[in-house]
Chains A and B, each alone.
Chain A
Amino acid sequence: MARITMREAISQALMEEMDRDPSVFIMGQEVGVWGGTYAVTKGFYDKYGPERVKDTPIAENAILGGAIGAAMVGQRPVAELMTINFAFSAMDYVVNQAPKLRYMFGGQFDVPLVIRAVGGGGRQLGATHSQTPDAVFAHFPGLVVVSPGTPADAKGLLKSAIRSNDPVLFIEHATMYQVRGEVPEGEYLEPIGKSKIQRPGKDVTIVTYCKGLELSMKAADELAKQGIEVEIVDLRTLRPLDMGPVLESFKKTNRAVVVEEGWKSYGVGAEIVSRIYEEAFDYVDAPILRVAQKEVPLPYNRALEQAALPQVPDIVAAVKEVLK
């Protein structure tokens, strides 16, 4: 198995699917000649040509409106948003059209659309371009929201997303393209809507996804030195949410911390914690804590930005708190 970067894994998935299915095409800003803002589609333009790798104007509603239309008539578009923050410019398409068309038209249309969007902070892109608004999108029934935390999952889940007949928002983290991991070559699918235990442990459960997984793994290494065995459940898909492994783990450890990069209020952690209380109340041995972003617009200043984002010591502290 090759040890490749998240960028290469996503690239591989796209290329494999484009090779496999001629109805798959890419559209977005700078995806073609430039090769993608994060160089994910480098070489695609030369290989597949402008018909299947379309550069678009800076108009997100045009990108998504066009992609939705193409999907409705049988294509499998992969529309790229340079950052997830730009989805707000096309909000109607993301949450009101794509997820509801099949329902509104009585099943006459599927929308086999993938929206690849780059999210997350930490790259000093300022308050409007650094957000992690995953919970906003996961709020809407009909929209599948996937956000992988490992290169293997990125490949397997993106391939599944492209093959899915549901609209999928596929959220990648801006600081994780260089993260390396073992990724199976060739045909490799991961099921959408399945959480996964990424690290087994017995003392406490961390529920997380995407960037939170990377941070939690580091926190778990540190805690292991202190004799605390952390079990990490990676959600991978925010909607539909798979609570199975979360509840299974929690019933074993009875204590949990939820780690997310977005803001705490009304966030993913709030959802997970509520569900644990609803479905495993008799297994709760300590209040479940959330580690999340500080409730401020993300600062540009590097030190302040890092201070506002959840960090490994925050997770370590929260784990120790719930173990009291």
Chain B
Amino acid sequence: MAEIINMPKLGFDMAEGVLVRWVRQVGEPIKKGEVLAEIETDKATVEVESHFSGIVLQHLVDPGTSVPVNDPIAVVGAAGEVISNSSLVSAGSKPAATPVSPAEKADTPKTEQPAQSLITNNQSPVVKASPLAKKIAREKGVDLGAVVGTGPGGRIVRRDIEAVISHQSSVVSPVAVPAAAPAADYSTTRLSDEATNTTKLRQAIGRRLVESKTTIPHFYVTHEYKMEALLELRKQVNGYLPESEKLSVNDFIVKAVALALREFPNLNATLQGDKIIRKGQVNVGVAVTVPGGLMTVVVKDTDQKPLRVISSEVKAMAARAREGKVKPEDVDGSTFSTSNLGMYDVEDFIAIINPPEAAILAIASAREVPVVENGQIKAGWRMKATISVDHRVSDGAEAAQFMQALAKYLEEPVRMLV
């Protein structure tokens, strides 16, 4: 019995995903739960598992194709099964294909057609274009996929192709116009401009942060923390731990933030119209640099987890994120985000709030600096952190008090162990 694998919905706002890579090729066996393909969503690259065991009979989309949620992407079934086209059309919501084995159909020609040939016309989304538009595009080498159709129903017609062609030539033509007086060229090597396509992740970051920075009234409070005790404790604790389990400074900070948020539920919140929803859970997000952008992995119930658990979870999620194999639950549900640039010797910076959260903490480097204590200048370890807060939710005083509460944990880190 052949089964259809659909584009999964990984997150409430996911509308489509890009099929990045087929992990299992056509003809290869696959077991239920094994990875079939990798897809890229707005948030992450994730693995799609097969819900069925059998042979991969058919890939229905090409890598690089954007596929709406619940649309079929592959067929898994028994070797030699033939899939009828019509069953795929209706397969969008129900994963029920109707396989027709050649033996059942008396009028099936003797030459058995491979499953592929019966469904190839389902493989690529149909570009609606008039025959004339297609012909001109073919002759002029215009990619129909890149042309916007202005005919009825978005059909690409001759004028659309001609517009693309004339645009191309108009873009090229200025080159022929002689420049006024070319400056002497002193450089030995000249690098030309380079255009790169933005990834879906980059686009998503752009979209979300433009919305955040332009609609949320941010304000910022910076606090400097004494880090000697925390660094000393970390050294001590790590002495007991194997290399792979050693705690980072950030692990302590994440835990400290979670405990401080328990005292300031207003900053662990979401603004919804006229209401502030104070979240029952404290899920601290940790921004992770990944190829092509950054992602926030989330430690669920951060306030209730021991440091070692937080540490191992962040490690595992960050590793998955960097490999582009993050799971949907890794990136979902944060109630407050943190961004740590400590490893880059940063004195201080500010972050943009990650909607729908109410605040974000930007953590700079712990540095050895001259400090004044009791009128004496001496060396000390200090770390600055800046909180960005949605002014619709909270005010400077509350934010400042939060930063003080955070100091309580960071400067007396034993509190985090009890």
Contact = CB atoms under 8 A, between A and B. Distances in A.
The answer to whether A and B assemble together is yes
Interface stretch (B130-138, B175-183, B382-390): B130-138
Interface stretch (A3-11, A95-103, A282-290): A282-290
A286 B131 contact: no
A281 B152 contact: no
A254 B152 contact: no
Interface string A257-291: 00000000000000000000000011111100000
Interface of B: 130-135, 151-152, 155, 157-158
Q: At the interface, is chain A mostly helix, strand, loop or mixed?
A: loop
B132 A324 contact: no
Which of B130, B135, B151 neighbours the largest number of chain A CB atoms within 10 Å of its CB?
B130
B151 A324 contact: yes
Contacts of B158: 254, 285
A308 to B, nearest CB: 27
B131 A283 contact: yes
B146 to A, nearest CB: 19
Contacts of B130: 254, 284-286
Contacts of A324: 151-152
19 contacts: A254-B130, A254-B132, A254-B158, A282-B131, A282-B132, A282-B134, A283-B131, A284-B130, A284-B132, A285-B130, A285-B131, A285-B132, A285-B133, A285-B157, A285-B158, A286-B130, A286-B152, A286-B155, A324-B152
B135 A282 contact: yes
A99 B151 CA distance: 46
A179 to B, nearest CB: 36
A285 B133 CA distance: 7
Contacts of A284: 130-132
B163 to A, nearest CB: 14
Contacts of B134: 282
Contacts of A285: 130-133, 157-158
Interface in A13-40: none
Contacts of A282: 131-132, 134-135
Nearest to B135: A282
Contacts of B157: 285-286
B52 to A, nearest CB: 42
B128 to A, nearest CB: 12
Given A282-B131, A282-B134, A285-B157, 19 more contacts: A254-B130, A254-B158, A281-B131, A282-B132, A282-B135, A283-B131, A283-B132, A283-B135, A284-B130, A284-B131, A284-B132, A285-B131, A285-B158, A286-B130, A286-B151, A286-B152, A286-B155, A286-B157, A324-B152
Nearest to B152: A324
A324 B160 CA distance: 12
Contacts of B131: 281-285
A254 B161 CA distance: 14
A281 B130 CA distance: 9
A281 B131 CA distance: 6
A324 B130 CA distance: 12
Contacts of B151: 286, 324
A324 B131 CA distance: 16
A284 B156 CA distance: 12
Contacts of A286: 130, 151-152, 155, 157
Contacts of B155: 286
B396 to A, nearest CB: 59
A254 B130 CA distance: 10
Q: By CB atoms of chain B within 10 A, which of A281, A284, A285 has the most?
A: A285
Interface in A278-313: 281-286
B328 to A, nearest CB: 43
